[in-house]
């Protein structure tokens, strides 16, 4: 069973030992990143000479964990807190990256920094970096996003990015937080060599919990990237020690013990709460949560983020309900990319809604909502595995009438700003680019499964065998199995009775199951006595003892109770 799971995820040429037994020794040193030595030396000089240092990062989980890594490292290296300033953009007011409005505030600050280090942004921001440079500020970019075809921003003093074409770092899949962790680790060594720090100064291994969270949250590959797998495993071990107030409070609020903390907890429980504030307000509260010094501070921040996440869910549900019929019409009309305009939509939730539409329709999706500038739309693009979102936007940007004002991102996801009057031209160029570069792709929703399990395999032993293969995430997804079951009982659960708890039977084996979000309009999708075909994951339910539970992802009835597809 383990071999089947591995074979379905990894290419034959991959080093299985490195992926399945990742070690921190596999992390290539910072000096293999182009410009890292230059960045480290300049940061070191700033510390030695007491210069004011600004930290500028994105507002999502990768950016916030990067911010926590840089600030914690600087404080450890003896930089007075008064010489450190934090600059985190507001998603709705500033947009992504080193934006004009963020630079306006920085340049107007009474304690304007003399050097700025970015993380998780900056590779495409030449104009704003040039403004900072003209004001006498040295800008060091650390990032992992795709670099423009004409190269990194020349106004930056250094651009440390494994995805530069002239960079030989062996793993371009690392997250932004890992890039800045490498730079800050190299800075420690430089300061020791300069006799500024004692050799006993602690390394940054204790910050791998931040790196793990940022890596999982940013959906970089946990498949062929041995480095990502190694840092996530090490970071989870660090979290499970519960020596940071943030994790003690979080697990307590989630009702989890440390042993149950895994990469999926980071992806589906912690990261959404950390991201929520940045979607609907200013994300500085997320930084306070990460860097809380005591449990009371961590709890107050967590409760704020949790409330924001609940608000985000409501907004997301409303936007998705509005977007789905529009996307369905576009799909019926043959659109290869579904471009949905929501005039009353919330910009902070575009990406999540786009992801929901990709899941539903199996095609790349762009969701557009009004920007703060009334003449513009902001948007998020989410793609399917075989379509590079950033490359598609690169092709569209070659056409001056396409209305692309700015954009950036990854193969799987991108953000953009669009001239309001150019939506029609943008859509035309999008479909033409898709037809030119991906002529054979006209996607349908696909659920990849790992086959079926025998009744005798529905045990906690199987759960533990699967867990040995973790961490699971993008590129190494948690196993999904399929099987036929008889429904023995059903029970509505959850605050709004949207979820369904079931007792299922396969041959002589009975087990409990939970189907989240199964119920719509008060109707149960299956009834007692039905036989259902289900796609499910296995987990251990630790409430009042440890027992097996199936988490149903999708199912349909094989008997005729009038319910049809579920």
φ, ψ (nearest 5 deg) of residue 282: -90, 135
User: What is d(CA 490, CA 495) in angstroms, rounded to the nearest whole number?
Assistant: 16
- The DSSP symbol for 198 reads -
Per-residue pLDDT at 475:
86
CATH 3.90.1640.30 domain span(s) along the chain: 26-240
Q: Give residue-wise pLDDT tens across range 456-483.
A: 999 999 999 999 999 998 889 999 999 9
Domain 455-557: top CATH class? mainly beta
For residue 399, pLDDT over 50 is answered with yes
3-state helix, strand, coil in the chain (%, to 5): 45, 20, 40
Nearest Cα neighbor of 158 from 143, 140, 183 is 140
Confidence of residue 523 (pLDDT cuts 50, 70, 90): low
Lowest mean pLDDT, pick from 275-284, 351-360, 430-439, 557-566? 557-566
Confidence of residue 172 (pLDDT cuts 50, 70, 90): very high
CATH 3.10.310.30 domain span(s) along the chain: 319-437
For residue 236, pLDDT over 70 is answered with yes
Is the domain spanning 26-240 CATH 3.90.1640.30? The answer is yes
Confidence of residue 560 (pLDDT cuts 50, 70, 90): very low
Per-residue pLDDT at 565:
39
CATH fold, domain 319-437, is: Diaminopimelate Epimerase; Chain A, domain 1 (3.10.310)
Q: Which helix (H) or strand (E) holds 500?
A: strand 499-506
- Residues contacting residue 337 through CB under 8 Å, at least 6 positions apart: 363, 364, 365, 366, 392, 430, 431, 434
Per-residue pLDDT at 511:
94
Average pLDDT over residues 321-325: 96
Per-residue pLDDT at 282:
83
User: What is d(CA 351, CA 371) in angstroms, rounded to the nearest whole number?
Assistant: 14
Q: Mapping DSSP to helix (H, G, I), strand (E, B) and coil, where does residue 286 land?
A: helix
Per-residue pLDDT at 564:
40
CATH 2.40.50.140 domain span(s) along the chain: 455-557
């Amino acid at each position: 069973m383990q071999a089947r799971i591995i074979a379905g995820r990894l290419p034959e040429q991959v080093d299985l030992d490195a992926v399945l037994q990742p070690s921190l020794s596999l992390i290539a040193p910072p000096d293999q990143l182009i410009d890292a030595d230059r960045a480290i030396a300049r940061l070191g000089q700033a510390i030695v000479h007491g210069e004011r240092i600004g930290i500028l990062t994105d507002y999502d989980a990768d950016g916030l964990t990067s911010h926590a890594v840089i600030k914690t490292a600087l404080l450890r290296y003896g930089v007075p807190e008064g010489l450190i300033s934090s600059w985190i953009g507001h998603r709705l007011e500033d947009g992504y990256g080193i934006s004009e409005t963020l630079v306006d505030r920085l340049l107007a600050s009474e304690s304007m920094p003399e050097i700025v280090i970015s993380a998780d942004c900056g590779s495409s921001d030449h104009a704003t970096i040039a403004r900072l440079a003209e004001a006498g500020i040295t800008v060091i970019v650390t990032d992992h996003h795709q670099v423009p075809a004409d190269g990194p921003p020349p106004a930056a003093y250094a651009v440390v990015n494994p995805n530069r074409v002239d960079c030989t770092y062996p793993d371009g899949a690392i997250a932004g937080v890992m890039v800045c962790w490498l730079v800050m680790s190299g800075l420690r060594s430089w300061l020791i060599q300069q006799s500024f720090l004692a050799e006993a100064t602690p390394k940054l291994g204790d910050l791998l919990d931040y790196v793990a969270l940022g890596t999982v949250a940013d959906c970089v590959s946990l498949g062929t990237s041995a480095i990502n797998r190694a840092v996530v495993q090490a970071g989870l071990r660090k979290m499970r020690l519960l020596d940071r107030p943030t994790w003690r409070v979080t697990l307590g609020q989630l009702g989890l013990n440390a042993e149950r903390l895994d990469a999926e907890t980071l992806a589906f429980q912690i990261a959404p709460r950390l991201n929520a504030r940045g979607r609907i307000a200013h994300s500085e509260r997320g930084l306070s949560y990460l860097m809380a010094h005591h449990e009371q501070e961590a709890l107050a921040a967590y409760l704020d983020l949790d409330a924001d996440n609940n608000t985000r869910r409501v907004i997301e549900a409303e936007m998705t309900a509005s977007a789905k019929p529009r996307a369905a019409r576009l799909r019926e009309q043959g659109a290869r990319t579904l471009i949905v305009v929501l005039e009353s939509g919330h910009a902070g939730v575009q990406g999540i809604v786009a992801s929901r539409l990709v899941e539903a329709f199996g095609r790349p999706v762009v969701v557009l909502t009004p920007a703060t500038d009334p003449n513009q739309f902001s948007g998020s693009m989410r793609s399917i595995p075989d379509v590079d979102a950033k490359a598609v936007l690169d092709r569209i940007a070659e056409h001056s009438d396409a209305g692309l004002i700015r954009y950036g991102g990854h193969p799987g996801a991108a953000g953009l700003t669009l001239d309001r009057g150019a939506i029609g031209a943008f859509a035309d160029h999008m479909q033409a680019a898709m037809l030119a570069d991906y002529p054979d792709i006209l996607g349908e929703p696909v659920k990849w499964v790992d086959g079926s399990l025998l009744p005798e395999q529905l045990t906690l032993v199987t759960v533990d065998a699967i867990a040995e293969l973790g961490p699971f995430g993008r590129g190494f997804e948690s196993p999904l199995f399929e099987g036929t079951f008889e429904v023995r009982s059903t029970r509505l659960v959850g605050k709004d009775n949207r979820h369904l708890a079931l007792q299922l039977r396969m041959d002589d084996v009975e087990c409990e199951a939970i189907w989240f979000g199964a119920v719509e309009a008060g109707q149960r999708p299956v009834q007692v006595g039905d036989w259902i075909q289900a796609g499910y994951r296995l987990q251990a339910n630790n409430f009042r003892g440890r027992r097996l539970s199936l988490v149903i992802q999708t199912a349909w009835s094989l008997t005729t109770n009038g319910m049809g597809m579920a």
